Each structure stands twice: as C-alpha cells, then as structure tokens.
Structure 1
Amino acid sequence: MTTATIDAARLELLLTELRLPGIKPIWDRLAEQSDKEGWPAARFLAALAEHELADRGRRRIERHMAEARLPAGKTLAAFDFETVPMVSKAQVMALASGDAWLGKGANILLFGPPGVGKSHLAAALGLALVENGWRVLFTRTTDLVQRLQVARRELALESAIAKLDRYDLLILDDIAYVTKDQAETSVLFELIAARYERRSLLITANQPFGEWGKIFPDQAMTLAAIDRLVHHATILEMNVESYRRREALERKRGRGRPAANATIKKTGTSEG
C-alpha cells in the first residue's frame, strides 16, 4: 500500500466519524483539481465545506418535504390563476417566500365553494415554502382533530400541540368538515389559541365567517377563534364557479360531437 492509499482510506474513516457525507464522494476529485491547479489550502478546504453545506441543505429539504405530507403534483406553476382573477398571482408569489409573515406567526385564510382550487393553492404554497427552507405540515382538519382528541384522552394534549410547534406552518384543509361537537371543536380552538401570534396557520374553508357557528359549539368560542385567526391574516376569497362543475358541463356538451370539435378546458387546479 502506498502512503496516498493509506491516507485516502484514513480520510474516508474520518469523514464518516465526523458525519461529513457531503464531502466523501467529492473530496478526491477536488483534491486532484487542487493539486493540478495549485490551490492554496484555504481554497481547497472552502470548496469542501461548500459542498458539505449544499448537501446538508438538499437533504434537509428532502426530509422536510417528506414530513410535510403534501399532495403530489400541486405546484404554483400548475395553478391556473386566470380562473380565479380575484386572487393576485403577485401576492401569492410574495407569500411563497414566507419571510414577511411566517416569522410573525401570521395566517392565511382561503375561502370559496368546493372545487375552485383552494386545496391546490394551499398545497402549492406549502411546497414553495418547504423549498424556501420552512417546515410545513399539510393535513385534513378532521384528521388532525382526531389525533388531538386521542392526545386529550391520554392526558397529552398540551404536549401534542407543543410538538406541532416545530412546523412553521400548519395547513388545515377543509375546516368546515369538523363536526359541531364539543370534544372536536374544543381541541381545534386550543390549537388555534396555542399558535396565536407564534406559529402560522393556513386554513381552507367553504363557508364564510358568518357560518362558522356550524363549526364551533357556541358563539363565544366562534368569535374568539375568528378573532385570533384574522388578527394577523391574509384573506384570499375564491368565489368563482367550481372548475369541476364547469368541466362536467363541457364534457356533457361535447357528447355526440366529433372529437375534433370537442374541447375540454383544464384549469390545473385541485379540489377545493
């Protein structure tokens, strides 16, 4: 064995021990380039460190993407803003960075009837935020509420809500489907109250605030929940015709016509 071979094997072991996996596949190529071009030692070390940092960033985003549980294929590029002209594309793109609101614990509320793309837009924002370094969790509101109810029965509700603090943003899809039940809505209210001005929520809802009495069991809780949500919030209203209904009508009109004359417009939006 040559000294170079021994040193290379020793370095591989050291990189493993120091947990520097980003450097392991690249160090020999960079070392060869450094020797050939006569790099100073500082430049060589800086190049190794840059590769390690880039690899850690990539792996961190991969982990955060997996834990976010975002529905597949829902991106801002695939969202058809023309079908919801009341929603500003420029505003949504600004929200996608997260810098101006997530650090303040502000919220986003998406309102509109079923089928206008609320879930798609919420998931697409979540994806963009993960790519920008934020931690996100996408969940149906009923699923999360059921988990919190189990935690309450096990006397661990406070701990369960505290664990959700690791997410900069919770996306609660379809809040309207929570049943008007004291046990369900009380844990939902406690979640809203616990995150108030500390961590952000993005909520999609079919009903306007005036109908939220169907969600919470009494007026006082309804008003308190709304007050906390809207205090620092961006509200986007998507009051347009359901794209699913529109496509169904277009398909119906197209029956019996020659294929060349039948046109189905695809909006690129998801279920609301």
Structure 2
Amino acid sequence: MTATDPIDAGRLSLALNDLRLPAIKLVWPELAARADKEGWPAARFLAALAEHEIAERANRRIQRHLEEARLPPGKTLDSFDFEAVPMLSKAQIMALAAGDSWLEKGANLLAFGPPGTGKSHLAAALGLALIENGWRVLFTRTTDLVQKLQAARRDLQLEAAIAKLDKYHLLILDDIAYVTKDQAETSVIFELIAARYERRSLLITSNQPFGEWHRIFPDQVMTLAAVDRLVHHATIFEMNVESYRRRTAVERKRGPGRPPTRATINTSS
C-alpha cells in the first residue's frame, strides 16, 4: 500500500471515521509522504500519528471546558495588575493556577474586598488557568445559581442538581454577598457548601467579611456552620484596596492635562 493509492486512501479515511480519529484523518497523508521521503520506521510513523491525535484531543477538551465554564471574557492572570493589589502574592497565585494539590483535596479559595477591587477578575483568571491545565471549572453569579437550585428544590431535584455540579473540580461563586437573607435562598447555598466540603473546591468572592455574613444566612448557627466548612481548608485573599472603577472615574475627572494617580489597571470585579 502507498499513501497515494486512492482506493486504499479511501478505505483508510472510512476506517478513521469509524474509529473516531479525526486528527489522524487530517494529517496522515502529509505525515505518510514525509515518512516515505525520510525513510521513517513504521513505529515512528505510528507514534507521530498517535501523538498528534492525543494533542488535538487535549485541545478539543480544553475548548469544550472553556465553553461550559462561562468565564467572563478577557480576564487573565497576565492582564491582572498585581501591583494594584500589593497584598496578593503573584507567586502564590501562579502556584494555585496549577491546581494539583489543593483541588485534589477539595480546598477552597475565598476572596474578600470592596466592590471594584479585582475579585471577579482574579477568580475568572484562575479559572481560565486551571482549565488550561486540565481541570473543569464553572463560573457563576451566586444569585443565578441560587435561582437554579431553588427551582430544582421545587421539582424535588435539589440533590441531583448539586450532584451534577460535582463534575466541576472548581465552582466559582461570584458575589455571594448579594444573595438575599431569605431562608429558601441561603439554605440551598448552605447545602451546596456542605455537599462539596472536603470533596470539591469552591472559589467564593464577597464584598462582605465573615463578620457580616449574618446578613447572608438567616441564623447564626447556619452562618457559623457555613464559615466553618469553607475555612477549614482554605486560602483567603484580603483585597482591601481602592476600587478600580472609582480610580478611573477620578482620573477622568482630573482631565487629560493632569497626571494620573496610578497606572490604569484591568482588575475590575
């Protein structure tokens, strides 16, 4: 058989379709011609095909995971201005972006700070980096997820809905403090926290410190129980800096002839 034989090439194309090897189907003619020209052993030719298929599958998997993650666009670690949030360790963030040890243990990340300080940017950027490293992530506003879980509870499907979230190694709950202090809302959040405890990780952003979480959960016992589970295995980021949006508004007011107070950053929540 030769790579130029049209009958055998057609049979091979059909076989690769049946075997669901689309990457090999695309590249084998070029690789076969190169192998013939350079006198590759059969094992080298097969290895090159297999490696290409594996790489393409990994790329397709990452693309699928990016689509399902629902990350806000444009939020990357490269575009995060660490100088604007000096209490954050860039080295620590980059280590967390690999995800290996803390995700395997079901540990949590908690980011606190006023609105506009980069919490959502940081969360989304970490999510993106983790997906690129092979992990599955879902980014959601906490209020949106609460509505879905409440609907599942009404349909007697809450346990199943929470179980479906287990496929995500990291669940990012953005703006948890905007959940209203309502028994139905906060109870589904508590059940989610309890279900993922020490099994699957959460990254939660909040503009309210733990001392104000009684405004989220309806009673002190639930508040303490939720906080206890979240902090048991957690890394906490305190991002108490001036709002990016406020800084940019001040600089616009100053006008183009006045020097900026600080370099513009892209860390908006």
Query: Which residue is equivalent to 1:96?
Result: 97
In the TM superposition, what are the counterparts of 1:64-75 in structure 2 within 5 Å? 64-75=65-76
Q: Runs of 4 or more off by more than 3 Å in structure 1?
A: 259-265
Q: Would you say 1:270 and 2:264 are equivalent positions?
A: no
Matched residue type, 1:268: N
Query: Which residue is equivalent to 1:61?
Result: 62
Matched residue type, 1:111: F
Query: Which residue is equivalent to 2:172?
Result: 171
What CA distance in whole angstroms lies between the structure 2 residues aligned with 1:230 and 1:97?
21
Q: CA RMSD, aligned part only?
A: 1.3
What CA distance in whole angstroms lies between the structure 2 residues aligned with 1:200 and 1:241?
29
Query: Which residue is equivalent to 1:11?
Result: 12
Query: Which residue is equivalent to 2:28?
Result: 27
Q: Deviations over 1:88-123 (max 9, x none)?
A: 111000000001200110000000000101000000
Matched residue type, 1:270: S
What CA distance in whole angstroms lies between the structure 2 residues aligned with 1:35 and 1:252?
69
What CA distance in whole angstroms lies between the structure 1 residues aligned with 2:210 and 2:238?
12
Instruction: Say whether the 8 Å CA contact 1:196–1:229 is kept in structure 2.
Output: yes
Query: Which residue is equivalent to 2:184?
Result: 183
Over the matched positions of the two proteins, sequence identity in percent amounts to 77
Query: What secondary structure is seen at the aligned counterpart in 2 of 1:269?
Result: coil
Query: What secondary structure is seen at the aligned counterpart in 1 of 2:73?
Result: coil
What CA distance in whole angstroms lies between the structure 2 residues aligned with 1:242 and 1:39?
61
Query: Which residue is equivalent to 1:227?
Result: 228
Query: Which residue is equivalent to 1:155?
Result: 156
Q: Would you say 1:238 and 2:236 are equivalent positions?
A: no
Q: Deviations over 1:147-193 (max 9, x none)?
A: 00000000000000000000000000000000000000000000000
What CA distance in whole angstroms lies between the structure 2 residues aligned with 1:142 and 1:59?
31
In the TM superposition, what are the counterparts of 1:40-51 in structure 2 within 5 Å? 40-51=41-52
TM-superposed CA distance for 1:268, in Å, is 1.3
TM-score of the aligned structures, taking structure 1 as reference length: 0.95
What CA distance in whole angstroms lies between the structure 1 residues aligned with 2:113 and 2:106?
23
Matched residue type, 2:230: L
Instruction: Say whether the 8 Å CA contact 1:247–1:265 is kept in structure 2.
Output: no
What CA distance in whole angstroms lies between the structure 2 residues aligned with 1:270 and 1:15?
47
TM-superposed CA distance for 1:265, in Å, is 3.3
Matched residue type, 1:84: V
Query: Which residue is equivalent to 2:139?
Result: 138
Query: Which residue is equivalent to 1:250?
Result: 251
What CA distance in whole angstroms lies between the structure 1 residues aligned with 2:31 and 2:244?
53
Matched residue type, 1:202: L
What CA distance in whole angstroms lies between the structure 2 residues aligned with 1:135 and 1:71?
15
What CA distance in whole angstroms lies between the structure 2 residues aligned with 1:98 and 1:270?
24
TM-superposed CA distance for 1:261, in Å, is 4.6
TM-superposed CA distance for 1:262, in Å, is 5.4
TM-superposed CA distance for 1:266, in Å, is 1.3
Matched residue type, 1:269: T
Instruction: Say whether the 8 Å CA contact 1:68–1:137 is kept in structure 2.
Output: yes
Instruction: Say whether the 8 Å CA contact 1:74–1:270 is kept in structure 2.
Output: no
Q: Would you say 1:79 and 2:77 are equivalent positions?
A: no
TM-superposed CA distance for 1:137, in Å, is 0.2
Unaligned runs of 5+ in 1: none
TM-superposed CA distance for 1:260, in Å, is 5.2
Instruction: Say whether the 8 Å CA contact 1:76–1:121 is kept in structure 2.
Output: yes
What CA distance in whole angstroms lies between the structure 2 residues aligned with 1:35 and 1:250?
65
Query: What secondary structure is seen at the aligned counterpart in 2 of 1:147?
Result: helix
TM-superposed CA distance for 1:77, in Å, is 0.4
Instruction: Say whether the 8 Å CA contact 1:174–1:206 is kept in structure 2.
Output: yes
How many residue pairs match? The answer is 266
What CA distance in whole angstroms lies between the structure 2 residues aligned with 1:40 and 1:93?
42
Q: Deviations over 1:39-63 (max 9, x none)?
A: 1111111110000000000000000
What CA distance in whole angstroms lies between the structure 2 residues aligned with 1:9 and 1:235?
58
